[in-house]
Amino acid sequence: MLKIHHWMTDDDHLQLVVYYKVEETQLVHYQAPHQTQPHNNQEHPRLAKLASALHIFANEWPELSMSVGMKAMQNHDEAGAASVDYLMYSGYVVLGYFHLKAALEADSLMQENQQAFSEDFLQHKIQLAHFYFQRILPKTATHKALMQADLSSLDPVWSDM
């Protein structure tokens, strides 16, 4: 059995584990212990939109993993063709998770009126998370499209010569 871990956020943490097993020569979705649900974060209302945006990836990432895996079972070159974009997609999502986590912590510290960090520093953490979600995280759409692109698009033009 192959276990693929996807780390997403709910409040401070949520682990989504998707199980796959190989039956003969086919990769089959085996079990999803729980489906992720959008978290209604009452403590951090100004970050709820970011948490909801990240929730979409918690459901999309396992589907993409399955899609790439199924295509690779038919043709091993599919895995290589999708590999860079899969890693880039994954990296963007993981960084989104950490930006959101930092923003949640900054928001908590601001609400507690603590003195360890300046108000400006904490506010910039939250602004950086918003920037990341609005300007960087949307790049995942391109990587998703490239992962799903037909393998024949990589055939060199000169192969017919």
Domain positions in the chain are 39-150
> What are the pLDDT digits (tens) for 57-93?
988 999 999 999 999 999 989 999 999 999 999 999 9
Question: Tokens 């276990």 identify what position?
Answer: 3
Burial of 65 (0-12, 13-18, 19+ CB in 10 A): buried
Q: Is the pTM of this model over 0.95?
A: no
pLDDT at 118: 93
pLDDT digits (tens, 9 = 90+) for 28-56: 444 444 444 444 556 788 898 999 899 89
Cα–Cα distance for residue pair 121/110, rounded to 1 Å: 10
Measured distance CA(148)–CA(6) in Å, rounded: 19
pLDDT of residue 1: 40
Task: Give the single-character DSSP code of 51.
Answer: H
List the structure tokens of 13: 């943490």
